[in-house]
Amino acid sequence: MKPEIVLTGPMYPDTMRQLDEKFTVHRLWQAPDKKAFLAPLAPRVRGIATTGGIGADAALMDALPNAKIISCFAVGVDAVDLEAAKARGVRVTNTPDVLTDCVADLAIALVLASARLVVRGDRFVRAGKWLEGQLEYGRKIGGSKLGILGLGRIGAAIAERAEAFKMEILWHGPRPKPAVRWRYVPDLIAMAREVDFLVVASPGGAATRHLVSRAVMEALGPEGTLVNIARGSVVDERALVELLEAKKLGAAALDVFENEPHVPEALFRMENVILQPHQGSATHATRAAMGQLVVDNLEAFFAGRPLLTPVV
């Protein structure tokens, strides 16, 4: 018989097809009463497949005590209670590396789009305003300073791309990395004060909640641009809105939000803001590769082989 797993939410279509082929899949998000849905499955379900947005909390693990692997369709596992997983002997895997390029590509796309008014220019032409005059000028990328918060795989890939545009790279993280060629700035506020663009590429979770604080954004200032492709929780969203409204922050380009898919309506009215629906990894090739890791990690676990990308 096929191993039984619980799937917490929809994934890439081909991933779901493979899961159905290899496992008996119970779709939790379709259940009107999740507690009643899980109760009879508890003795049989041995694994959980989830997404970075949904994750898995201690209550889900307790409801499925025989599920000893959580395979997460994301690189960030801040929505998975890792301490609870450790305490219960549950293995956790994620999908690193395969999404690095696409997320870094979007980060640079947002920097360019914000600086060169790409989205605003599109609306300008469509509204017939070009017949009345010229769009305001944008900002030059070459020679500007880019600050990166978090120089992991994605942060480093962003830096490499930014160098091709002749940007000066600075970065901040919990500790310096001697092998890195870009300049490390130990104080985030000091870095924000120095750069033209601040890209957030740090992990989410309690340790980084509101790390991009009001003080950081005030230091970035009325000429600065904030780009977030990490997690909405890293940025103090209320302060972000207030500073943009007060013109104390120049612009923002956001792929993630604190309570997504709910976005502060005030941002909808701002011409200096670009909004995206958390699509950093949303290309067919990348989502397929992420899904393959989810499937492969589950198969490895049930076959007693080493996990491909373990977190816990």
Task: Quick: pLDDT tens for 176-207.
Answer: 999 999 999 999 999 999 999 999 999 999 99
Predicted pLDDT at 200: 98
The residue ranges of the chain whose pLDDT is under 50 are none
Predicted pLDDT at 212: 98
Q: Do residues 92 and 85 lie in contact, with contact meaning Cβ atoms separated by under 8 Å?
A: yes
Predicted pLDDT at 278: 97
Report how far residue 78's alpha carbon sits from residue 85's, in angstroms, rounded to the nearest whole number: 12
Determine the 3-state secondary structure of 188 from DSSP: helix
Share of the chain above pLDDT 90, in %: 100
Predicted pLDDT at 11: 98
The string of pLDDT tens digits covering residues 19-55 is: 999 999 999 999 999 999 999 999 999 999 999 999 9
Predicted pLDDT at 304: 98
Report how far residue 200's alpha carbon sits from residue 147's, in angstroms, rounded to the nearest whole number: 9
Q: Do residues 225 and 272 lie in contact, with contact meaning Cβ atoms separated by under 8 Å?
A: no
Residue 198, strand partner residues: 147, 226
Predicted pLDDT at 111: 98
Predicted pLDDT at 141: 97
Predicted pLDDT at 165: 98
Predicted pLDDT at 309: 98
Predicted pLDDT at 146: 98
Q: How far is CA 204 from CA 77, 96, 175, 258, 290, in A?
A: 8, 15, 17, 10, 19
Predicted pLDDT at 136: 97
Residue linked to tokens 């589950």: 298
Please count the other Cβ atoms lying within 10 Å of the Cβ belonging to residue 57: 13
Q: Do residues 261 and 232 lie in contact, with contact meaning Cβ atoms separated by under 8 Å?
A: no
Tokens of 130: 């070009």
**Residue partners of 145: CB distance under 8 A and separation at least 6:** 167, 168, 169, 170, 194, 195, 196, 197
Delineate the domains of the chain, giving CATH numbers in brackets: 4-97+285-303 (3.40.50.720), 100-275 (3.40.50.720)
Predicted pLDDT at 242: 98
Please count the other Cβ atoms lying within 10 Å of the Cβ belonging to residue 143: 10
Predicted pLDDT at 98: 98
The catalytic residue positions are 231, 260, 278
